[in-house]
Amino acid sequence: MKKLLAVFALILGFTSAAQARVLVEPYLGYEMGTTKNPDGKFDGSQLGLRLAYSSPIFFWAGLDYTMGVSGTFKPDTGSNDDGKRSTLYGVVGVDFPILLRAWAGYGFMNEIKTDNGGKFKGKATKVGVGFTGLPFVSLNLEYITEKFDENDTFPITNDLENSTYVLSVSLPFEF
């Protein structure tokens, strides 16, 4: 967290207040991946919003909030369980001049609420790339890894992990 804030302050230090812009980027995505302990698959749709300061040297830094609208955990054994995610990331990114952008984020608030398993809390990281060749739209691919260490229903004794891919469409606006 301290490193992320230091990078954010460093990026803002390279820009003057008159040249810095605000990035507002709503997105809609579909998440799919696997879980470990218990083993299974996870998929679902999500809405999100990135808010960041964008500098004239192609760097941006800010916050990314993801809300899972719907999701289903399909364990290898047992019945399916519906769940919804809520994650707040600190993100840093770069907009390349060749129709690409990339970013990385650390989820300092990450929880998934399930119907049968309770509320899981833990840490998350993500990396993403986006194709910006279409007018007003960015097509994105993200890879997210999560590790949960808290549950309000039962104690977590082994590593509960989740790794997913997210395909999304976003509308990046700079003001």
pLDDT in tens, 9-63: 555 555 445 578 999 999 999 999 999 988 899 999 999 999 999 998 899 999 9
- As a whole number of angstroms, the distance between CA 138 and CA 96 comes to 13
Provide the 3-class DSSP secondary structure of residue 102. Answer: strand
pLDDT score of 145: 96
For residue 107, how many other CB atoms are within 10 A of its CB?
A: 22
3-state helix, strand, coil in the chain (%, to 5): 5, 70, 25
Q: How many CA atoms does the CB half-sphere of 127 hold within 13 Å?
A: 0
Give tens-digit pLDDT for 130-173.
999 999 999 999 999 999 988 888 777 777 899 999 999 999 99
Q: What is the pLDDT of residue 9?
A: 58
The label of the residue with tokens 């994650």 reads 87
Arithmetic mean of pLDDT over the chain: 89
Domain CATH number, residue 116? 2.40.160.20
Flag whether the pTM goes above 0.85: yes
Into how many domains does the chain fold? 1
Domain membership of residue 111 as a residue range: 2-12+20-174
